[in-house]
Amino acid sequence: MSLAPRVLRRAVAGATVALLATAVGCAPQPEDKAATTPSASSTDACAKGKLATETSGKLTIGTDEPAYEPWFKDDKPANGEGFESAVAYAVAKQLGYDKSAVVWQSVPFNKAFAPGEKTFDFDINQVSISDERKKAVDFSSGYYDVRQAVIALKGTKAASATTIADLRGLKLGAQVGTTSLDYIDDVVKPSRQAAVYAKNDQAKSALKNGQVDAIVVDLPTAFYITAAEVTDAEIVGQFENQGAAPEQFGLVLDKGSALTACVTAAVDTLRKDGSLAKIEQQWLSDAVDAPVLK
């Protein structure tokens, strides 16, 4: 109804028309609305319990089989016991999925971060974050700072090693695709080629049978192996972190996954509120300090 007088005024005052046109042209209402859309979309993408997961309403988590202690307990990732099982369920809760909505999937260690589309939402399996692996997959922020350690049978030459130089003439072994193997090749640089195993179980058997002088694993695993699995073995020492940043385990996601930001935010929240520290204290408290090999 108010348009007729306005049209009449515009016809009478040309200058006013120009001013009004300029004012209308400077009122970017549609653009302002659009500018809020990404923020809203980002919020919706991480809506609790409503993520764009592999299976609607479920959160699919991958890990290797067998699932070793102290990361998992009794080879049962779904029981919520062990450090990584507890972390996985804590992340799931942050994302809005209770225990009944979590589905576990068996994923071989190397396959978790190999190129190719994933069938899990995220994988948790002591996978260290690295630039090389980031070419094929996404990672969350780190959920655990880790060091690598050397294990040898008690009373052997390897057990008496106190420096990296002492290790160079030994036959060392580690699981394929791990930073443990990287430390042998890049830090120790042994005179004998490292023995490479598909599983840690095979590396432990080789140590027990005298096929290798020592094996390299992450420090918490080293404490568990020497306390419960190869009790006539001992921790020779641990390596210093290489570079400015510590080695960290991260949750593995498909490259370009829409969940990466949401999962990272969940891990960051658990770190900030002290939950990760509590879980570590509960399940990895026995993994205390060990001599540093330099």
Element (H, E) at 216: strand 214-218
Burial classification of residue 163, based on how many CB atoms lie within 10 Å of its CB (0-12 exposed, 13-18 middle, 19 or more buried): exposed
pLDDT at 120 over 90: yes
pLDDT on residue 36: 33
Residue identified by tokens 């935010």 is 265
Q: How confident is the model at residue 277 (pLDDT cuts 50, 70, 90)?
A: very high
φ, ψ of residue 125 to 5 degrees: the values are -165, 50
- By percentage, how much of the chain surpasses pLDDT 90? 80
Angle between helices 275-284 and 83-95 (to 10 degrees): 160
Looking at residues 95-107, what average pLDDT do you find?
Answer: 98
pLDDT at 25 over 80: no
> How much is the mean pLDDT over the chain?
87
pLDDT on residue 244: 74
d(CA 131, CA 238): 23
Q: 144: which strand partners?
A: 249
What is the total residue count of the chain?
Answer: 294
CA nearest to 255, candidates 175, 159, 139: 139
pLDDT on residue 182: 95
Which amino acid type is present at position 101? Answer: A
Which amino acid type is present at position 54? Answer: E
Q: Write out pLDDT tens, residues 162-172.
A: 999 999 999 99
pLDDT on residue 9: 37
pLDDT at 7 over 80: no
Which amino acid type is present at position 287? Answer: A
d(CA 255, CA 189): 32
pLDDT on residue 266: 98
d(CA 120, CA 276): 22
Q: Write out pLDDT tens, residues 139-162.
A: 999 999 999 999 999 999 999 999
Looking at residues 247-260, what average pLDDT do you find?
Answer: 97
Q: How big is the CA angle at 147 (ends 80 and 271), to the nearest 5 degrees?
A: 50
Cβ atoms of 70 and 221 closer than 8 Å: yes
